[in-house]
């Protein structure tokens, strides 16, 4: 027996096939991916998902083996993302970032940061005010369009595996149909530091931003592509102590300050 | 000995202020204006390579405010050494 559903991951349309015991997770998984569900035909290999309690967990862009339901759901999130970024390699500029969009204009702020630096937390807190684009991967086409990827949010709870929570369950604002880049910023959280927007020289900002990309070296003229995202006056670093401060800074960015 | 641009240098963006961001291998380095100008001069020489002694004389006139610490051959040699350590250039033996 196999249960399946289809989601969009950036420019890929991926069929997720839950096999054997994993098919019991189909309703939970489909709900978590509620904002990415699509009626489009899959355009590549499916992801085969299995729940096998006595085997090590593993994943690729075409398979997930999880030893528990929580493992299956987190690894599935990684596998779907991987399928999308592998497909976009060489064409899309893909950032490890949270994305938030103005629901009216589609202008999108991209907040880049390494894992554990608050991307998902920022998406949860700020996605109730601005449209939720992604909590992990934001991709830009060569024409400057931001691709929405409103995946389940990966939230740390008590267990080893992160919970995969539908943005619907968090009452996050839907991303508008068309989104374009307004600004890209790097997040720097410091609980004891000031809340401030800093400008960094464009070339230094590009060097700081490059590690937060996927398949960067596969792009044509990748450094130029990254530099095109950054204002000539320099790149933006948002230094903040808490989510309230970050909301204030992001609000200022949407208003075109500084 | 002459210096040539490393094959690992895949892309170089030079901004209006003369600073640069360079993709070398899988890393992106930010270079100040003098370093960027010297590296660009090396790149312009292609496979022929550049003589370090001549590099500063070639680059200096193009800089608005060239720093004193790189005026001499020793300063250029230090810069080239840093470039070699970063994988930006390599030495090429000459006859």
Quote the DSSP letter at residue B72. Answer: S
The C-alpha atoms of residue B2 and residue B47 are separated, in whole angstroms, by 10
State residue A102's pLDDT score.
96
Q: How confident is the model at residue B73 (pLDDT cuts 50, 70, 90)?
A: low
State residue A127's pLDDT score.
97
pLDDT at B69 over 90: no
Least confident of A162-176, B3-17, B54-68: B54-68
Contact B21 A226 (CB under 8 A): yes
The C-alpha atoms of residue A45 and residue A239 are separated, in whole angstroms, by 41
User: CA of B22 to nearest chain A CA: how many angstroms apart?
Assistant: 7
Asked if A174 has any chain B CB less than 8 Å from its own CB, the reply is: no
Q: How confident is the model at residue A79 (pLDDT cuts 50, 70, 90)?
A: very high
Average pLDDT over residues A88-113: 97
* Residue A251 structure tokens: 């609000």
pLDDT at A257 over 70: no
Contact B19 A222 (CB under 8 A): no
B28 to chain A: closest CA residue: A207
State residue A12's pLDDT score.
98
The C-alpha atoms of residue B69 and residue B83 are separated, in whole angstroms, by 17
Contact A203 B31 (CB under 8 A): yes
pLDDT at A144 over 90: no
pLDDT at B70 over 60: no
Contact B13 A203 (CB under 8 A): yes
Which residues have a Cβ under 8 Å from the Cβ of A241 and sit 6 or more positions away?
A189, A190, A191, A192, A193, A194, A195
Asked if A226 has any chain B CB less than 8 Å from its own CB, the reply is: yes
Average pLDDT over residues A168-189: 96
Q: Chain-wide mean pLDDT for chain A?
A: 95
The pLDDT tens digits of the residues spanning A129-139 come to 999 999 999 99
State residue B63's pLDDT score.
66
Three-state secondary structure string covering chain A: CEEEEEEEECCEEEEEEEEHHHHHHHHHHHHHCCCCECCCCCCCCCEEEEECCCCCCEECCCEEEECCHHHHHHHHHHHHHHHHHHHHCCCCEEEEEEEEECCCCCEEEEEECCCCCCHHHHHHHHCCCCEEEECCEEEECCCCEEECCCCCEEECCCCCCCEEECCCCCCCEECCCCCEEEEEEEEEECCCCCCEEEEECHHHHHHHHHHHEECHHHCCCHHHHHHCCCCCCCEEEEEECCHHHHHHHHHHHHCCCC
The C-alpha atoms of residue A169 and residue A188 are separated, in whole angstroms, by 28
Contact A206 B30 (CB under 8 A): yes
The C-alpha atoms of residue A247 and residue A240 are separated, in whole angstroms, by 9
Task: Return the residue in A199, A206, A221 with the most chain B beta carbons within 10 A, the one to mutate for interface testing.
Answer: A206
More confident residue, A144 or B74: A144
């Amino acid at each position: 027996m196999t249960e399946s559903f289809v989601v969009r991951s950036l420019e890929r349309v991926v069929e997720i096939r839950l096999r054997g015991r994993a098919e019991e997770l189909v309703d939970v998984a489909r709900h978590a991916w509620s904002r990415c569900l699509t009626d489009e035909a899959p355009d590549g290999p499916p992801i085969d998902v299995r729940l096998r309690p006595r085997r090590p967990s593993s994943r690729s862009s075409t398979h997930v083996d999880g030893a528990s339901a929580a493992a299956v759901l987190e690894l599935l999130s990684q596998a779907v993302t991987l399928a999308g970024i592998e497909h976009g390699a060489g064409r899309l500029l893909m950032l490890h970032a949270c994305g938030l969009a103005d629901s009216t204009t589609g202008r999108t702020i991209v907040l880049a940061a390494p894992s554990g630096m608050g991307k998902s937390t920022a998406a949860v807190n700020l996605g109730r005010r601005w449209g939720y684009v992604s909590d992990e991967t934001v991709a830009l086409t060569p024409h400057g369009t931001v691709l929405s990827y409103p995946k389940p949010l990966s939230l740390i709870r008590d267990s080893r595996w992160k919970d995969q929570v539908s943005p619907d369950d968090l009452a996050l604002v839907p991303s508008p149909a068309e989104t374009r880049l307004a600004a890209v910023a790097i997040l720097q959280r410091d609980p004891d530091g000031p809340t401030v927007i800093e400008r960094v020289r464009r070339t230094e900002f590009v060097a700081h931003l490059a590690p937060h990309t996927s398949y960067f070296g596969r792009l044509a003229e990748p450094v130029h592509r990254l530099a095109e995202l950054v204002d000539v006056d320099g790149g933006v670093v948002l230094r903040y102590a808490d989510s309230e401060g970050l909301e204030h800074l992001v609000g200022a960015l949407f208003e075109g300050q500084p | 000995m002459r210096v040539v641009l490393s094959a690992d240098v895949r892309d170089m963006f030079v901004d209006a202020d003369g600073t640069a961001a360079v993709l070398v291998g899988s890393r992106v380095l930010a270079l100040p204006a003098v370093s960027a100008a010297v590296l660009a001069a090396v790149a312009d020489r292609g496979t022929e390579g550049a003589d370090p002694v001549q590099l500063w004389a070639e680059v200096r006139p193009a800089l608005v405010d060239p720093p004193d610490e790189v005026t001499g051959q020793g300063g250029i040699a230090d810069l080239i050494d840093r470039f070699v350590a970063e994988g930006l250039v390599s030495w090429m033996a000459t006859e």
